[in-house]
Structure 1
């Protein structure tokens, strides 16, 4: 399931991010490309170990740690540290699939990539092209969100970034290992949790049906979660 999440960063936070990113030293994205990706990847990336990448990545992680919709949708166990890329002058990333396992640099931590995330840091009118196209069971969906918004999608999906023909598309991207590995199970829990959150303001705190529904959610989570 493809899930857009609004306002992960405020517009003011985006401006602060952009000030640092616009002044950063960008590198050829081929430096981190595998053998297949080298054939289709044309972008720029920040050095993961740079002060800018580390500081901005940690800021994103702090925001996500208190973002209820992200937690509901991803049920995160581990998050690969956010990375940053830039597409311009025809930059593109052809159809590819993310690696199943990602080793966090400088550590012995491995992240199973259940979910991929793209956090947009350029407004849609700043660039032409640059749509994130994700293949799913109902065909290809194109995503181009407001700056500060993020999309979550299954890492098993084939996806691409179309060529940027004007301006620059700047984004952060990363991967999540969920406590619930099965995509169908996560989707069911997310839909159930969203329904509970919508019902809660309309019901008394001791409403029996709401309590039963909440119990079903937690019992399913207890059955499917692995930590």
Structure 2
């Protein structure tokens, strides 16, 4: 499932993040790449241990926590700490790659199976040229993503994807991975679709209609069947 999740951060929060990033200590993005990805990766990244990274992580995680669409679409069991990157100048692209299946957390804090990849845009589209996130879909047309600041895209961690070269300006973003309580992408898609339809149905006929109660029960029974907590 590829999904645009709007307004994870408010405009004020985007400005706050940009102010932090303006004073941030950028380093090589290859430090968190796997062996194959490192050959394709040419960008800058904030050190995981920096004060700026910790401040921004708290901001992003708070935005995710309050966003109902994010929870419904991902059913998160564990979220890797958000990281932050910059594309522009000589460090301006990330070629085709697949994210590593497991993200090992710092200082032995555990590991996250990367069921879902997330990119949260922190630059406005008109601030840079190029820089589209391109996601390859086997047997169908590739999808090109370039969203407003504060908006996020989620997509399967199994996807081949890349960031096109940034030819002017700078592209700022946060990226991270999610281990879902429902491992199957297809099952998550079905549950998200059902939940979305239920929300619209409740707004039309109310919470106590027998059809709404029955479908809500079906949703939770499917979730119980597929859940890993």
TM bucket by the smaller chain? over 0.9
Find the counterpart in structure 2 of residue 126 from structure 1: 127
Q: Which residue of 2 aligns with 1:112?
A: 113
Paired residues of 2:122 and 2:150 also in contact (CA < 8 A): yes
Shift of 1:218: 0.3
Which deviations, in whole Å up to 9, do the C-alpha atoms of 1:31-86 show, x marking residues without a partner? 33332222211100000111111111122112211210000000000000000000
- Give the aligned CA root-mean-square deviation in angstroms: 1.0
State how far apart, in whole Å, the 2-side matches of 1:74 and 1:38 are: 27
Instruction: Provide the rounded CA distance (Å) in 2 between the counterparts of 1:71 and 1:154.
Output: 15
Corresponding residue for 1:203? 205
Query: Deviation string for 1:166-204 (max 9, x for gaps)?
Result: 000000000000000001000000000000011111113
Q: Which residue of structure 2 lines up, in the alignment, with residue 166 of structure 1?
A: 168
In structure 1, what is the Cα distance between the partners aligned to 2:75 and 2:33?
28
Task: Write the deviation string for residues 104-148 of structure 1: whole angstroms up to 9, x where unpaired.
Answer: 111341100000000000000000000000012422100000000
| Paired position in structure 2 for 1:153 | 155
Tell me the secondary structure at the aligned position of residue 139 of structure 1. coil
SS at match of 2:106: coil
- Mark the runs of 5 or more structure 1 residues left unpaired by the alignment: none
Q: In structure 1, how many angstroms separate the alpha carbons of the residues matched to 2:168 and 2:79? A: 32
Alignment correspondent of 1:176: 178
> Secondary structure of 1:157's partner?
coil
Q: Hey, what's the Cα distance between the residues in 2 that align with 1:181 and 1:223?
A: 12
Distance 1:38 1:56 in 2: 24
Say if 2:115 and 2:178, in contact at 8 Å, map to a contact too: yes
Q: Which runs of 5+ in 2 are unaligned?
A: none
Q: Secondary structure at the match of 1:85?
A: strand
- What does 1:212-223 align with in structure 2 at a 5 Å threshold? 212-223=214-225
Task: Provide the C-alpha distance between the structure 2 equivalents of 1:92 and 1:205, rounded to a whole number of angstroms.
Answer: 48
Structure 1 runs of 4+ aligned residues shifted over 4 Å read: none
Q: In 2, Cα distance between the equivalents of 1:46 and 1:204?
A: 47
Equivalent pairs, count: 227
1:224 aligns with 2:226: yes
Q: How many Å apart are 1:89 and its aligned residue?
A: 1.4
Report what 2:146 is aligned to: 144
Please give the TM-score of this superposition, normalised by the length of structure 1: 0.97
- Aligned partners of 1:35 and 1:223: how far apart in 2? 36
Once the two structures are superposed, residues 140-165 of structure 1 have per-residue CA deviations (whole angstroms, 9 ceiling, x without a partner) of 10000000000000000000000000
